[in-house]
Amino acid sequence: MTEPSPIHSAAPIQILGEDGSCADEHRGLLSDEQVVQALEAMVLNRILDRRLLMLQRQGRLGFWMTSRGEEATILGAAVALEPEDPIFLSYRELGCLLWRQIPLAMIFNQLIGNGRDVCLGRQMPVHYCYREWSIPSVSAPVGTQLPHAAGFGYAARLRGTGQVALAFCGEGTASQGDFHTALNFAGVFASPSIFLIRNNGYAISTPESVQTAAESLAVRGEGYGLPGLQVDGNDLLAVVKVVGEAAARARAGDGPTLIEALTYRMGAHSTADDPSAYRSDEEAEAWTRLDPFERLKRHGAWRGVWNEELEAETHARLDQRVVSTLAECEKIPPPRVETLFEGVLETVSPQLEAQRDEYLAMHRRRSEGGYEVP
Ligand SMILES: Cc1ncc(C[n+]2csc(CCOP(=O)(O)OP(=O)(O)O)c2C)c(N)n1
């Protein structure tokens, strides 16, 4: 057993040493096999970030959001939870999908919005939804996932399912009213839930310094009557430890936890952003020294389970898989136009039927080349 983390922490909890080592008591947080799995997931995450960004620039994908630099926070949470614990994503948490082994094709089908996308192209790229893997649908208005998690946790408590709901949000989103609604509800009803703030420094161009006048976001926990702690979000083992302990507390009936993970968004906010307009190269450069992938690689080497050769072999194998799967998914046609009118209402009203028929007739004329858009 490792020492439990404090309930409130003023300084971020950290485990990995600069040389990749950790104290003996923390070694068991992850098995050697899990360290290798996490490294493979990070390799894949970086391949996807690079390739999907290129795809967007080539006009083959509408939108992409990278998670480079935040992988330890994102993966660590998924590693620490049980597969049936729902993770309410914000949008930047590709790593959770990779840890839960959601097939790459299902991820690409969502991004492309093709006919095999479970949401039939009705959501923006990165607004994932995978019920079978306990990933509820991402909602575009930021913060809505927080009350969803508080409510899910409460329902799980009433039903006695033993599940814990985790919601991610950015530090900018923590300024939304939904943050208060969720934490207050979760605290009062001892909802087995975890609120994990990825404090990556920026909400698009707005720096974290203007999000709160308090010394941290973690201290807010106290006002809601729940533990609030800070963790080094680029230290995978530390994230696994604090999320694991929060999940154990929640399952034991001791209610929710607020966690603030300190990390950095190494890339742009999204493919519609240029960070050079609002932050210096020196700042971004300083954070590369704390790169979570490099730190985990050093830890893998320290354990003797990872080296450059293995990384190169893993990279080549996964890159090939990404390229071939993408090629297959790009061949899948878009959803049938009829699906626009399906799957929402159980009974279709006569008015909607008329609109559907009119639309389909127009669509037919158009595809036959005989229809001019007025
Ligand atoms: C209610 C709402 N307001 C504004 C937006 C536009 N928007 C999308 S992401 C974002 C920034 C969120 O920043 P943060 O919570 O820090 O998360 P990060 O993107 O850094 O991961 C904004 C303002 C939105 N989607 N929803």
- Ligand 1, atom 1, lies closest to the CA of 141
- The pLDDT tens digits of the residues spanning 234-259 come to 999 999 999 999 999 999 999 999 99
CA distance 128 to 306: 31
Q: Is residue 124 part of a domain?
A: yes
The CATH number of residue 51's host domain is 3.40.50.970
Measured CA to CA, the distance from residue 71 to residue 239 in angstroms comes to 11
Instruction: Based on the fold, state whether residues 342 and 358 are members of the same structural domain.
Output: yes
Our mutation pick for probing the ligand 1 site, out of 49, 71, 142, 200, counting the most ligand atoms within 8 A of Cβ, is 142
Alpha carbon nearest to ligand 1 atom 24, residue = 141
Pairing of strands 206-207, 202-203: antiparallel
Distance 368 CA to ligand 1 centre (A): 42
Question: Tell me, what's the pLDDT at 343?
Answer: 87
How far, in Å, from the CA of 270 to the mean position of ligand 1? Answer: 11
Q: Whose CA is nearest to atom 13 of ligand 1?
A: 203
In the reported structure, the alpha carbon of residue 280 is separated from the centroid of ligand 1 by a whole-number distance in angstroms of 21
pLDDT block averages, 10 residues each, the chain of length 374:
76 95 98 98 98 97 96 98 98 98 98 96 96 97 98 98 98 98 98 98 96 95 97 98 98 98 96 95 92 98 98 98 98 94 90 94 85 54
Q: Are residues 152 and 105 in the same domain?
A: yes
Query: Which atom of ligand 1 is nearest to 208's Cα?
Result: 16
Is there a domain that residue 273 lies in? yes
What pLDDT, on the 0 to 100 scale, is given for residue 332?
98
User: In this structure, are 319 and 342 located in the same domain?
Assistant: no
Catalytic residues: 265, 269, 278
Question: Within this chain, do residues 197 and 256 fall inside the same structural domain, yes or no?
Answer: yes
Asked if 327 and 345 sit in the same domain, the reply is no
- Total number of domains constituting the chain: 2
Within-domain flag for 8: no
Torsion angle (degrees, nearest 10) of CA 32, 34, 35, 41: 150
Q: Are residues 28 and 53 in the same domain?
A: yes
**Per the domain annotation, does 181 fall within a domain?**
yes
- Whether 357 and 272 map to the same domain: the answer is no
Task: Dump pLDDT digits (tens) for 115-152.
Answer: 999 999 999 999 999 999 999 999 999 999 999 999 99
Rounded-to-integer distance, Cα 62 and Cα 40, Å: 27
Q: How far is the CA of 359 from the centre of ligand 1 (A)?
A: 35
Q: For residue 21, how far is its CA from the centre of ligand 1 (angstroms)?
A: 36
Q: Could you give the CA distance from residue 183 to residue 259 in angstroms, rounded to a whole number?
A: 12
* pLDDT score at 1: 61
- Residue whose pair of structure tokens reads 């971020």 in the numeric block: 12
In a domain, 349, yes or no: yes
pLDDT on residue 373: 53
Task: Note whether 145 and 166 are same-domain residues.
Answer: yes
Looking at ligand 1, which atom is closest to the CA of residue 90?
A: 21
Q: Which residues contact 69 (CB under 8 A, 6 or more apart)?
A: 200, 234, 263, 264, 265, 266, 267, 287, 291, 292
Per residue in 98-120, pLDDT tens?
999 999 999 999 999 999 999 99
State whether 345 and 210 are in the same domain: no
pTM of the complete model: 0.95
Q: Which domain holds residue 103?
A: 24-331
Give residues (CB < 6 A) around ligand 1.
92, 140-142, 169-173, 198, 200, 202-204, 265, 269
Point out the ligand 1 atom lying closest to the alpha carbon of residue 143: 1
Ligand 1: which atom is nearest the Cα of residue 91?
21
